[in-house]
Amino acid sequence: MKLLFLCSRNQWRSPTAEAIYQNDPRVQVRSAGTCSAARTRVGEKLLRWADLICVMEHAHKKRLRDDFPDLFRELQIEVLDIPDDYTFMEPALIELVRERVEPLLAPDA
């Protein structure tokens, strides 16, 4: 499965999620951001690459709908509900990412 993690600036949350799963044999992972100031900005090619897009907040899903209206209905998107309250690889963020992502990777998910 190809997982794409998205947050706003691709600075703390989505790179943490990518780092957590980068060596997981169940998935291929990438991360990006939705705003113009993102380190890696999400684009159509990256969205088409992903089997599942995990966004941190509902605002990120709305941004995808607004920026990619023709592609949006084809996307499989899950909102993780992880607020922008953490720094890169913060233990509480790692725990929250695992708690929200693992059920999505279960064989019957």
Give CA 70 to chain center in angstroms.
20
- 32 close to 6: Cβ distance less than 8 angstroms: yes
Model pLDDT for residues 3-51, shown as the tens digit of each residue: 999 999 999 999 999 999 999 999 999 999 999 999 999 999 999 999 9
Distances 29 to 19, 45, 96 between C-alpha atoms, Å: 9, 14, 17
pLDDT at 63 over 90: yes
CATH number, domain at 31?
3.40.50.2300
**What does the block give as tokens for 99?**
């708690």
Structure tokens at 60: 């990120």
Give how many domains the chain has, as a whole number.
Answer: 1
Residue 77 near residue 55, CB atoms below 8 Å: yes
Burial class (CB in 10 A: 0-12, 13-18, 19+), 47: buried
